[in-house]
Amino acid sequence: MATLKYSRQRESIKENLMHRRDHPTADMIYTDIRKIYPNISLGTVYRNLALLSDLGEIRKLTVDGGADRFDGNISPHNHFTCRRCGAVLDLDMEDISRIKQSAEQRFHGVIESYSVNFYGLCENCTEKS
Partner DNA sequence: GTTTTTGCAAAGTATTTGCAAATGG
Partner DNA sequence: CCATTTGCAAATACTTTGCAAAAAC
Beta carbon nearer to its own copies, 12 or 70: 70
Rounded to 5 degrees, what angle do the CA atoms 68, 73, 74 make? 90
State the binding partner of 83 from DNA, its own copies, none, CB within 5 to 8 A by kind: its own copies
Q: Which of 18, 36, 50, 111 binds DNA (CB under 7 A)?
A: 50
Binding to its own copies by CB under 8 A, coded x per residue (else -) over 45-64, reads: ---------------x-xxx
The CA–CA distances, whole Å, from 123 to 15, 24, 81, 82, 112 equal: 28, 19, 11, 9, 33
Strand-strand pairing, 78-82 and 69-71:
unpaired
Which is nearest to 28 in space by CA: 18, 39, 17? 17
Q: What's the closest the beta carbon of residue 103 comes to DNA, in angstroms?
A: 24
State the binding partner of 117 from its own copies, DNA, none, CB within 5 to 8 A by kind: its own copies
Q: Under the criterion CB under 7 A, does residue 37 sit at the interface with DNA?
A: yes
Cα atoms found within 13 Å of the Cα of residue 8, Cβ hemisphere only: 7
Provide the sign of the torsion angle of the four alpha carbons 15, 11, 33, 66, taken in this order.
negative
State the binding partner of 2 from DNA, its own copies, none, CB within 5 to 8 A by kind: DNA
Which residues here bind its own copies, judged by CB under 8 A? 60, 62-65, 78, 80, 82-83, 91-94, 96, 99-100, 102-103, 105-126
